[in-house]
Amino acid sequence: SLRVDIQSGERKSLPDFKSEAFAASLARLIRARRQPNLRNVINATGIIIHTNLGRARLAPEALAAMQAVGGGYSNLEFDLDSGKRGSRYAHVDSLICDLTGAEAAIVVNNCAAAVLLSLMATAQGRKVIVSRGELIEIGGAFRLPDVIQQSGAILKEVGATNKTRASDFEQAIDDETAVLLKSHTSNFRIIGFTHAPRREDLASLACKSNTILMEDLGSGVLVDLSGYGLTDEPIVSDILKAGVDLVMFSGDKLLGGPQAGIIAGRADLVSRLKSHPLCRALRLDKLSLAALEATLRLYQEPNDPFQRIPVLQALAQSVEAVHARAVRLTNELTGAGLGDVMLAQSTAYVGGGALPQQGLESRAVSVSSPYFTADALAAALRAAVPPIVGLIRDDRFLLDARTISDEDIPAIIEAFRSVCGP
């Protein structure tokens, strides 16, 4: 490495091989190489469900369940009553039904798989009608029109970008139609002169025409978030009550569990999905299943999910609590003489393709250093152990306190010390 640096002209002379500083730099290199590639980072972005940072943090109960099931044998597909082969789905389906009011449910690898399986099993070679305003692309090039095509179904678009009515669906339904598909415009909003049909109206159309009403909900919430100022996210049980036959949602967005795709709704449709040949290829593994079951149980009485599930805790956290954490971090960084540090107003977001327009009031610690640009400081903190990922605003580095936990603070101080310290 030194030779490369000298040849490229980046370095002019050899270091003092006997110095403490050289030994320390070698030790740092060795430590860096021994770190796992996939590792924990501190999320100081203020985005609670950050898709690039692993989405939902799991509850301790979910982690314990993964540890127990992963470290031993389990009744994953074994019925302890009969002593015969059992179903892996049995561990969560009745919990999902209890929490959503669905007749039946099945879980697969993620919500994208849930949409694909639902369409393959019900609409292959037949038409799926979707509003032009809801032909979404979510991250990772998951585009609804492409997924419909890959499922073997034929997309029939109706309405306009901003306005679609139930009558547009009605006129498009023919003998070839299998599914009316609604999707949650989870990462954008069309505002102004808009209209989307009511679920109840689509449900009665589906019933009359013997087609299936499905909804790709993306980030499914099981509880009412309106008390926290978040009013745009529909609750799964309300969607089923409105007459939707099958609803699909993620396990690791607002639900706050592991990666999973949950499909809930009519029992006859769920059993068609269960017997589809590709169901096996999309199935959820035992660790995720263990974590999902434990997370779902935290929604059951007498638990308060807002106290127990990290995603919900982070969004329900009072601004006073966020403020107090930001003050503590500001004081500790200032006390250690680690740059020009001040408290700033900020806005946190739910993320994960949920509630794109609704910010959560938050506080951030804003840092600038006389020795670094904000970009250089951000890069140095990403290289720390553990890495810290924050925001840059007006050439200052910002740490949003809503997504930082109190336990992260010593590691943040240590990282700043190693980067900005004497």
Ligand X SMILES: *Cc1c(COP(=O)(O)O)cnc(C)c1O
Q: Which residues bind ligand X (CB under 6 A)?
A: 110-112, 136, 138, 142, 183-184, 186, 216, 218-219, 250, 261, 353
- Residue 82 DSSP SS3: coil
Q: Which is nearer to ligand X, 42 or 138 (CB)?
A: 138
Q: How far is the CB of 105 from ligand X (least distance, A)?
A: 15
Q: How far is the CB of 371 from ligand X (least distance, A)?
A: 40
Q: How far is the CB of 261 from ligand X (least distance, A)?
A: 6
> What does the block give as tokens for 381?
């903190």
Q: Who contacts 342 (Cβ-Cβ below 8 Å, separation ≥6)?
A: 330, 365, 366
Q: How far is the CB of 43 from ligand X (least distance, A)?
A: 18
Q: How far is the CB of 282 from ligand X (least distance, A)?
A: 11
Sequence length of the chain is 422
Give buried/exposed letters for 65-79 (b at 16+ CB in 10 A, else e): bbeebeeeeeeeeee
Q: How far is the CB of 185 from ligand X (least distance, A)?
A: 8
Which secondary structure element, helix H or strand E, spans residue 300, and what is its range?
none
Q: How far apart are CA 395 and CA 374, in angstroms?
A: 5
Q: Which is nearer to ligand X, 221 or 381 (CB)?
A: 221
Distance from the Cα of residue 225 to its chain's centroid: 16
> What does the block give as tokens for 327?
């003050």
Q: How far is the CB of 163 from ligand X (least distance, A)?
A: 20
What residue number has its CB nearest to ligand X? 218
Taking the CB of residue 278, how many other CB atoms lie within 10 A of it?
15
Q: How far is the CB of 96 from ligand X (least distance, A)?
A: 15
C-alpha distances in Å from residue 280, one per residue of 75, 79, 157, 197, 274: 18, 19, 31, 35, 9
Residue 184 main-chain phi, psi, to 5 deg: -80, 120
DSSP string, 368-408: EBTTB-HHHHHHHHHTSSS-EE-EEETTEEEEETTS--GGG
Q: How far apart are CA 5 and CA 288, in angstroms?
A: 45
Q: Which is nearer to ligand X, 235 or 336 (CB)?
A: 235
**Contact present, 126 and 209 (Cβ < 8 Å):** no
